[in-house]
Amino acid sequence: MELFQRTTILSSLLAAFPPVRTVAVIPAYNESSTIGSVIDGTSRYVDEVVVVDDGSSDDTAAIAREHGAHVVTHVFNTGVGGAVRTGYQYAIRHDYDFVVQVDADGQHDPEKIPTLLSHAEDADMVIGSRYLNESIDDYPFIRRLGITFFTTVVRKLGGIDITDVTSGFRVYRVSALQDILHRSDNHWAVEQTLDAAQRGQRIEEVSIEMPIRDEGESQFSLDTLVLYPLRMTDTVFRVLLFR
Amino acid sequence: MVFGFDYSLVNLLSLVVGLAFLANGYIIVRSERESLELFVMSLLLGAGLIVVAVVPNVFEVVARLLGLEWKARAILVISNLTLFVAVTYLLNRIGHMYDRLSRLNEELSLLRSELEEHQLQTEDKQDE
């Protein structure tokens, strides 16, 4: 009888406080050389790893499956924004509590995931910042200039104190994420962060070192560089006017 | 004659069309279509038409400034404006189509992943 009572109490407690479920979303485009080790490192800290293969032409999807990740494959390449949005939709549909976003190129150290998650207890979005340590000094001047400019824009317009708006190493509370699903396939970070700030969501930053990538195909092509300011400006105006 | 201006039915029509353009801009904002080009164009055209409707002399000044009193130049300017509107509209539609295609891509990839998961579960059950 006593055992029955204890079991009942335990069941009630579990029902009242269900375990927190976390999924890692890894957007990947032709990252066959690094994806395996990223999945191995990430899977230790989350319940499930989802790789969104954004139309890769190499073995990224097959390697990801071999390493135990759930793979969602895009029919064609949309850009990193489209890939992470698909990952967010997966998290929402599978009732996860938190989403950890990790780059597939090995730039983000999975060992830092617990640090990000611990800050997410009291926040809706946690951003790993390169500006709170010295790793940003290794980045090319033009890229640092771009990051600083758009971070300043988001700080001024959103009224938040952040240092690295374009960082892709983040944790989201899924219940808050549903309100800020971005539309842009290219510059999702600015759109999403500004939108979250305007909605009064709790945004925190944590110092995370991110060495500059030396493998895989870079997202920064000439096309990206030329269109970057125009697309960013368009994104900022759209959030300010329509959200 | 009101405030020194001669108003006619054309002014009233311009005012109504101008307000319709402004309303269109407002509806775009409300429905969150987020088409920045259409929004700005609606505001400019709407505000321009309202100004012309309320201050009719402005049109004469602008027409003189643009050389619209010459028929050939007037046709050229109107053609260019029409082309501008058409190009803006088409760019907007392309943006919309891309947006929809991206959503379809997202939905299709998620459904395919669910199907694969379901097939794996079915195979596991059959093996048992």
Altogether, the residues listed in chain B come to a count of 128
Is A85 within 8 Å of chain B by CB? yes
Closest chain B C-alpha to A208 CA, distance in angstroms:
30
* Domains, chain A, with CATH or none: 20-242 (3.90.550.10)
Is residue A219 very low, low, confident or very high in pLDDT (cuts 50, 70, 90)? low
CB contacts, 8 Å: A236 with chain B:
none
Closest CA relative to residue A87, chosen from A174, A21, A167: A174
A77: number of Cβ within 10 Å: 17
| pLDDT at residue A72 in the model | 96
What tens digit of pLDDT does each residue of A109-163 get? Answer: 999 999 999 999 999 999 999 999 988 888 888 888 888 888 998 888 888 999 9
A76 contacts on B by Cβ (under 8 Å): 105
Strands A98-101 and A22-28, sheet pairing: parallel
Question: What confidence tens digit (pLDDT) does each residue in A72-123 have?
Answer: 999 999 988 999 999 999 999 999 999 999 999 999 999 999 999 999 999 9
Q: Please, which pLDDT band fits residue B2 given cuts at 50, 70 and 90?
A: low
Instruction: Tell me: pLDDT of A10 over 70.
Output: no
What pTM does this model have?
A: 0.75
Helices (H), chain A: 2-16, 35-42, 60-66, 80-93, 113-119, 141-158, 174-177, 188-198, 222-242
pLDDT band, residue B34 (cuts 50/70/90): low
Strand order in the sheet with A203-207: A70-73, A48-53, A22-28, A98-101, A170-173, A125-129, A203-207
Task: Choose between B96 and A46: higher pLDDT.
Answer: A46
**Least Cα separation, residue A188 to chain B (angstroms):** 14
**Residue of B107 and B42 predicted with greater confidence:** B107
Q: Which of B33, B42, B94, B105 is the best substitution to test chain A (most A C-beta atoms within 10 A)? A: B105
Does residue A58 or residue B32 have the better pLDDT?
A: A58
What's the Cα-to-Cα distance from B79 to each of A45, B74, B76, B85, B86, rounded to whole Å? 62, 8, 5, 10, 10
> Does B110 contact A82 at a Cβ distance shorter than 8 Å?
no
Encoding tokens for residue A52?
Answer: 């969104």
User: Chain B: nearest CA to A186, how far in angstroms?
Assistant: 12
Q: How confident is the model at residue A188 (pLDDT cuts 50, 70, 90)?
A: confident
Reply yes or no on whether the pLDDT at B33 is more than 80: no
**Is any Cβ of chain B less than 8 angstroms from the Cβ of A234?**
yes
CA angle A81, A84, A88 (to 5 degrees): 130
Of A175-184, A188-197, B57-66, the one with minimum mean pLDDT is B57-66
Percentage of chain A exceeding pLDDT 70? 88
Are B105 and A238 in contact (CB < 8 Å)? no
Give the integer Cα–Cα distance in Å for A229 and A40.
36
Please give the residue of chain B at the shortest CA–CA distance from A92.
B110
pLDDT: is A152 or A185 the higher one?
A: A152
As for the ipTM of the complex, it is: 0.72
Residues of A within 8 A of B36 (CB-CB) are 234, 237-238, 241
Contact B32 A242 (CB under 8 A): yes
Q: Least CB-CB distance to A72: which of B29, B33, B109?
A: B109
